[in-house]
Chains A and B, each alone.
Chain A
Amino acid sequence: MVKDNSVSSVVLDIVIYVFLILLMIVILYPIIYILSVSLSSSDAFNAGKVVLWPVTGSGSFGLDFEAYKEIITGRTVPMSFLQSVINTLLYTAISLAFTTTLAYPLSRSKDRVPFHGFITKIIVFTMFFTAGMIPVYLIVQKLGLLNTRWSMILPAAISTYNLVVMRSFFESVPVELEEAAFIDGANELTIFAKIILPLSKAALATVGLFYGVYMWNQWFSAMLYLSDRAKDLYPLQYIIRQIVMENQLAAEAAAAGELNTVQVSTASLKYATLFISILPMLCVYPFIQKYFVKGVMVGSVKG
């Protein structure tokens, strides 16, 4: 590219860099601030001294892990963290199994698969017309899934968008491979398990991560389907709502006489819980984002 040193080009560069740097600050600041408050002493926070970095009681930089100690030795957050992990793993496994087994036949020629056209039509129809929140709730109730883990997992087992992404991936596997296996006497199931799946590792990773991140960040299904009776099943994202917005943790700790108000303020507990809930994603997303970008591209082309 020809280098352009005109005034307008330099001005444009300045505008671009200022915009992008401001954007990065705006995106990162809330996350950094949460971390800093959670690591600050309550005195410093109460005095309004925490702005960017963690501050100790003396007003200088320093780390205070009291809030995290309080949370880890407590019951609510570790329990819900565990529930979120279990939900995410189970959901990813189940959804991936359901999605691949449905997407693969649909990616093959219509002439080979019975009712291919009909099944495609009934699936596409659900993208446009849904019965809505209440009828699905009634079904979950009827199946006896209310207040169980399955109420969060099964109703969302297949996302049509992910199904489409998966199908597009499978479509790119050349048919010749299967034909060769056919001639060698393999049946469709063997071909799927031994040839197609091993060739689709990238696709499985992409769609699996879509599902995993979705479930980790999900809170609404817990609110819909779980009542107080199933408290132990609450996932972490639902606990945030209770702790941050309804002061649950502080009330609980106060009731148990656990909360040492001198050392741990309710504010740092809230900020620490919030940070714990986003920490796993912060750690993994730089490594998984490329799969996501790929999935977005496939989905948008084939939509």
Chain B
Amino acid sequence: MAKADTTLKAAAPSGTKESKGIIGYFKKECGKFSKGKFLLLLMIPGVVYFAIFHYWPFYGLLAAFKDYKPKMGILGSPWADQYGFAEFIRFFTIPDVWNYIWNTIALSILHIIWLFPFAIILALFINELRSQKFKKVVQTISYLPHFVSVAAICGMLTLFLQSQETVGSDLANEGIINQILIKLGAGHGIDFLSHANWFRTIYIASDVWASIGWSAIIYIAALSAVDQELYEAATIDGASRIQKMWHISVQLIRPTIVILLIMQIGKIMSLGADKALLLQRPETYTKSQILSTYIYNQGLTQGELSFSTAVGLFNSIINVILVIGANFISRKLTDTGLF
């Protein structure tokens, strides 16, 4: 069986070079038909799905190099200027673009900086609890926000943080946070979501609220697998609980932390549009416009399909480089990678 495996691997790369290899590969695969025809049949719906919704869109990427007009179709549209790269060049000459790229990176980095330590601390603390009942309660409650939708979270933020920003305004128009501020003696509330400087704080704080419990799961599992004898031996040697937490617990989950951290860094430019779209207002674009929302706003609101396809392609290429780089580093450091 191992032999068959190696010959298969050897056949595949050479197949791209010489036709005999391809034919050989096909013959080899077709030779499995008698054994596996039903299994191949089972895979058809899934493979068709990937073909239509993942591979067919690659053809749409051509629009990035064209002056795409929906009526003419992708092939019928004329090529863009500058050997097809006009939209890419235009993208980099827009002064705000660097700002949007930086906004994307800043939100991702802040997410890592805040969420990682909180999740690790939560896991370490839960691990220290002796009462199984309390442990269960804490875990169950901390998982709750994971099941609340992004739309609902942003709805809450909108309602809690709204304000008329006028002195003596009706409390009905003030969110709970502003009601408290006013009761504490602030003259008027702050409409937090329309101030660019508050955007990152709101975005990250709600991220932490939503994900702290869920992100801790993996560390809690790693910690529960630790051999209790290690702790007992340390106790006999006179280690305090804090020392044990640091020298045993933290050291044991360190590989997990490193892998997750590197993987997160690989995703630094692939921040999704949905949450930012819900929280952003035109007044806060200087901080809240990230690449994915820019693609959405330009492509589907403004109808600049070629341009936003080009921006999306640029973003995808950067993401591939980052993920492969992150995986390479992870392999070097920990001998484990995603692939």
Contacts and interface: CB of A to CB of B under 8 A. Distances in A.
B274 to A, nearest CB: 4
Q: Is the interface of B mostly helix, strand, loop or mixed?
A: helix
A119 B149 contact: no
Contacts of B125: 16, 19-20
A112 B4 CA distance: 11
Contact of A30 (B35, B156, B320): B156
Contact of A131 (B58, B137, B212): B58
Contacts of B214: 296
Interface stretch (B109-117, B167-175, B196-204): B167-175
Q: Is the interface of A mostly helix, strand, loop or mixed?
A: helix
A134 B308 contact: yes
Contact of A45 (B9, B35, B172, B338): B172
Interface in B296-324: 296, 299-300, 305, 308-309, 312-313, 315-316, 319-320, 323-324
A48 B183 contact: yes
Contacts of A240: 149, 151-152, 155
A77 interface: no
B221 interface: yes
Interface stretch (B96-104, B138-146, B247-255, B282-290): B138-146
A158 B46 contact: yes
Contact of A12 (B30, B128, B296): B128
A253 interface: no
Interface string B43-70: 1011101101111111111010000000
A224 interface: yes
B28 to A, nearest CB: 9
Interface in A7-54: 8-9, 12-13, 16, 19-20, 23-24, 26-28, 30-31, 33-34, 42, 45-48, 51
A1 B54 contact: no
B149 A277 contact: yes
Interface string B28-41: 01101101111111
A12 B242 contact: yes
Nearest to B314: A132
Contact of B171 (A48, A111, A130, A192): A48
A240 B49 CA distance: 30
B299 A134 contact: yes
A267 interface: yes
Contacts of A297: 217-218, 221
Contact of B57 (A113, A135, A241): A135
A300 B299 CA distance: 35
A219 B150 contact: yes
A51 B309 CA distance: 47
Nearest to B235: A2
Given A119-B43, A132-B295, A188-B36, A278 B148 contact: yes
Interface stretch (A55-63, A64-72, A136-144, A199-207): A136-144
B158 interface: yes
Contacts of A220: 273-274, 277
Nearest to A95: B49
Contact of A16 (B1, B49, B129, B145): B129
Contact of B63 (A115, A134, A219): A134
Contact of A270 (B137, B159, B209, B273): B159
Contact of B58 (A51, A135, A157): A135
A1 B228 contact: yes
A122 interface: yes
Contact of A213 (B126, B142, B147): B147
B300 to A, nearest CB: 7
Q: Give the most central of A99, A274, A286: most B CB within 10 Å.
A: A274
B32 A113 contact: yes
A27 B141 contact: yes
B172 A102 contact: no
A124 interface: yes
A114 B36 contact: yes
Q: Give the most central of A31, A48, A51: most B CB within 10 Å.
A: A48
A75 interface: no
Nearest to B134: A20
Contact of B155 (A98, A245, A293): A245
B5 interface: yes
Contacts of A155: 53
A132 B58 CA distance: 9
6 contacts: A19-B121, A98-B49, A112-B32, A132-B315, A187-B38, A270-B155
Interface of A: 1-2, 4, 6, 8-9, 12-13, 16, 19-20, 23-24, 26-28, 30-31, 33-34, 42, 45-48, 51, 97-99, 101-102, 104-106, 108-115, 117-119, 122-124, 126, 128-139, 143, 154-155, 157-158, 163, 187-189, 192, 213, 216-220, 223-224, 237-238, 240-241, 244-245, 265, 267, 270-271, 274, 277-278, 281-282, 285-286, 289, 292-293, 296-297, 300, 303
Given A1-B228, A23-B142, 13 more contacts: A4-B241, A24-B137, A24-B138, A105-B36, A118-B29, A133-B292, A134-B60, A240-B149, A240-B152, A241-B151, A267-B172, A278-B152, A285-B144
